[in-house]
Amino acid sequence: MIRVIIIGASGYMGRAVATAVENNSNDFTVVAGVSPSGRGSFAFPVYKSISEVTEPADAIIDFSRPKAIYDCLPYCKEKKIPYIIGTTGLSEDDMRFIDSYANSVPIFISGNMSLGVNLQLQLVKSAAAALGVAFEPEIVEKHHHFKVDAPSGTALMLADAISSKSPEGKKYTFGRYTKTERRKQNELGIHSVRGGTIVGEHEVYFIGTDEIVEISHRAYSKQIFALGALRATKFMMSMQPGLYSMQDIVLENEVLSNLYVTDGQALIEISSLNDTKNGICDVFTALADASIFVDMISQAGLGRVSLTVRSKQLYDALSALNSLKVTHKNMKVVEYDDITKLTVEGVGMETRHGIAAQVFEVLSASGIEPLIVTTSETKIQVGINSEFVSIAVNAIAERLDL
């Protein structure tokens, strides 16, 4: 049984969380609430301040106002319990205060506790990366007339997701009233609608020439946010101090999705290039002129580079590189044929550390030496001798549960 304190218990979301706990009474119970009025028709006591709470608790769930963090974080640190923050409208100063406690308190923070919205974030990231500058992004968010902050925290999360996939980032434009200039290429428009009882709608448009890609999410009840907060609370029960988000939950069981091999590779190690400034350029220009397909690339210091090519193109690649010895007289070229590229892939690697360490621990324990390594946010690629492929695949699959 997880005992929770609800901050903002008398508010819309506070009441929704209380209802969600009541519907999940086998796993949760509310021991106390906090509300400025100190009143509420609940089965649990409601206090004006967290400092008045004496009931033992396992976690705090907060959907109130930003100022509450200044009392709740010291309380969580003292009681050694996690803090789940669903509050929006946090300022840069608020975030700095939250960051200052991340080494001593497990903190879960999200501008939107819906799993669907957080899946939307992943889809938006993928779309932004795939569509690039050919499509112009715009966000429209809609909420009820009681919402006090604009744009919504979720809209800003979506904007940040899009901006993270732009080399130069995006400049946010909040509405276009008084604007008398055309849309700029790095612009991202964010527009807010307030009215009635709209729970929450977020529409992301990628607008291209003669076509539009739309990724949207609509919430029909606040219960989805309350249930998301309970799921976050359960998730945080085993977490160490640090900052966590709904992305950690969305990707909890999807850190890794693929493990596959690419056979028929050859490794070429090039060193002692005379001109370290232009030498690397000369290498790849020579290979491009010879129509050589280069896959993995790893630079290991000045004047050194390793790369893989298809085994069937190894002879042509070596011939192209030998032509460089006229200008790079000390250049050394070492080749290894019969190499296999092993790829570990998963979208969750972007937010989960330690995957690379596990991969290399497995290879080391199996007596396998990586010959070349390249990585990205969601991939680890390792070149190994082909004779060890079966051993490596089985060991990594068992260790990482693939």
Active site amino acids: 143, 147
Nearest alpha-carbon partner for 222 in 120, 150, 114, 147:
114
Closest-CA residue to 160 (of 111, 109, 199, 208):
111
Rounded CA separation 400/342 (Å): 14
Distance (Å, whole) CA 35 – CA 148: 18
DSSP code string of 322-334: HGGGGT-TT-EEE
Q: Which helix (H) or strand (E) covers residue 213, if one does?
A: strand 211-219
60 residue type, one letter: I
What's the order of all strands across the beta sheet hosting 200-208? 171-174, 187-194, 136-143, 200-208, 211-219
- Chain centroid, CA 372 distance in Å: 26
Residue 370, token pair as written in the block: 């990586």
- What is the distance between the alpha carbons of residues 101 and 107, in angstroms, rounded to a whole number? 8
CB 11 within 8 A of CB 68: no
Alpha-helical segments (H) within 185-278: 223-236, 246-250
- Single-letter amino acid code for the residue at 94: D
Strand order in the sheet with 258-271: 294-299, 305-310, 258-271, 332-345, 379-385, 372-375
For residues 286 and 375, what is the distance between their CA atoms, to the nearest angstrom?
A: 25
Report the SS3 class of residue 83.
strand
Q: Among residues 66, 65, 69, 63, which one has the least CA distance to residue 50?
A: 69
Distance from C-alpha of 2 to C-alpha of 346, rounded to nearest angstrom: 32
Element (H, E) at 112: none
Give, in degrees to the nearest 5, the angle at Cα 177 between 176 and 179: 65
